Amino acid sequence: MLSGRLYLTRASQLIVSFRHHTTACLSNNHEVLIISHKKKNEHFPLVWLRDNCRCPMCFHTKSNSRIINWRDFNISPKVTFLEVVDNDIILRWQDDHISKFNTDWLIEHSFLKESQNKYLEKKYRPVRVAWNKNNVLSKIGSYSFEEVITQNATLHRWLMDLAKYGLAFLQNVPSDKNQCKKLANRIAFSRRTRYQDEFDVMTQSETSNAYLESLLQMHTDSPYYEYTPGITCLHCLMQTETLGEESSLSDGLYITEKLRKENKEIFDILSTVNVNWVDRDEHGEKYHRILRAPVIKLNSEGNVEKIIHSISQRDSHFSVDLGLVKPWYKALKVFIDLMYQERYQYKLKQGQLLAFDNTRIIYGGLTYKNSNNNKRHIIGCHIDWDEVYSKIRVLQN
């Protein structure tokens, strides 16, 4: 192992060699530290290095937080001295502040595109895999509730399935209430909406049949929230014995990508025209939530971020140009026909729990009218994606 030091006042082109043919030097313009490692040149801008100094004045290790004072921060910092000791690169800055960077840490924070992509794929979010009614069963696995609650490796696999495919089942769930919440607490905590932490979707006896019918239509939950409840969990405590009343699940990711490829005009309308989603006063309770967002919400990279669809909670206030009204309805009809065409129909069994991505999966068939000898009882709860991704990362380590 070699160590070396370099004073940069004049001889800035000198290269410091260390550890198995690894070298370090500054770029000609003195703005970038270049490490040559395994035949690759790794570039680290000095401004980034200074911002990411790991000394106790700049970084608080216990809280994993940057504490450098940015009010005095110089965005064109100069290095006056470069030294390599064993596996560390030591930089002295113009103001005599000294930073020490471990080379492995630097390589881990590489600016090379392929390294960045690798990191994002592994650590940011699992890559989503679209499915349709023909291949859904070959993709989703079957997991035991008990194992997911007690074994970290199983919980990790189940959450990865949920993230990749947008839906995952659990079997042999104890037939008590609070099992959804138990699962949410195993991951982090449940997400409260106006329907409380855990909601009962047994029956809505006071509402009309027509209203119940409308809730049977395929939809995404709580479309009027900017911070959409990420995951819906449904635990079946009791299921009807009559035929039919199946649930429908459609992969919004599959449908929208199919539209993007085969019917770009429809895709463009649905992903650009803002719709008002509304939630207003029910049973004497006062509230008025509105969100303006398109049916297909894209992120800054053009990927599908969220699907919003609800017949019952789409506002009559449609704040668009007159000329867009009919084309939008036409696009919505194509979208709805496709979601029904590609739906996977499933009847949740007693003791099963279904979790699905409420920003992606379009779901129908939640409500059913009970009678004395034909009852259904389902308990639901929501969990946020931020907490699920966090748990996946923790379990990965």
Q: Given the rule CB under 5 A, which residues bind Zn ion?
A: 53, 55, 57-58
CA proximity to 320, closest of 305, 333, 331: 331
Cβ nearer to Zn ion, comparing 45 with 327: 45
User: Any idea which residue has 């008002």 for tokens?
Assistant: 276
> For the chain, what is the total number of helices (H) and then of strands (E)?
12, 23
CB of 50 to Zn ion, least distance (A): 8
Residue number, 43 or 97, with CB nearest to Zn ion: 97
Least CB distance to Zn ion at residue 99 (A): 5
Residue 55 or 137: which CB sits closer to Zn ion? 55
58: DSSP letter: T
Minimum CB distance to Zn ion, residue 84 (Å)? 18
Q: Which is nearer to Zn ion, 73 or 119 (CB)?
A: 73
Q: Minimal CA–CA distance to 340: which of 231, 212, 252, 243? A: 252
Reduced to 3 states (helix: H, G, I; strand: E, B; else coil), residue 272 is helix
Minimal distance, residue 237 CB to Zn ion, in Å: 57
Q: Are strands 65-66 and 304-307 parallel, antiparallel or unpaired?
A: unpaired
Q: How far apart are CA 58 and CA 99, in angstroms?
A: 9
Which residues, other chains included, contact 219 with Cβ-Cβ below 8 Å and sequence gap of 6+? 309, 310, 311, 312, 313, 362, 363, 364
As measured in angstroms, the least distance from the Cβ of 77 to Zn ion is: 11
Please answer whether residues 239 and 353 qualify as being in contact, where contact means their C-beta atoms are separated by less than 8 angstroms: no
Output the smallest distance, CB 4 to Zn ion, in A.
22
Determine how β-strand 167-171 pairs with β-strand 142-144.
Answer: parallel
Minimal distance in Å, beta carbon 55 to Zn ion?
3
Spatial separation of the C-alpha atoms in residues 18 and 4, rounded to whole Å:
7
Smaller CB distance to Zn ion: residue 53 or 255? 53
Which of 35, 53 has the CB closer to Zn ion? 53
Which tokens hold the place of 40?
Answer: 């690759």
Of 53 and 236, CB closest to Zn ion = 53
Distance CA 297, CA 282 (A): 28
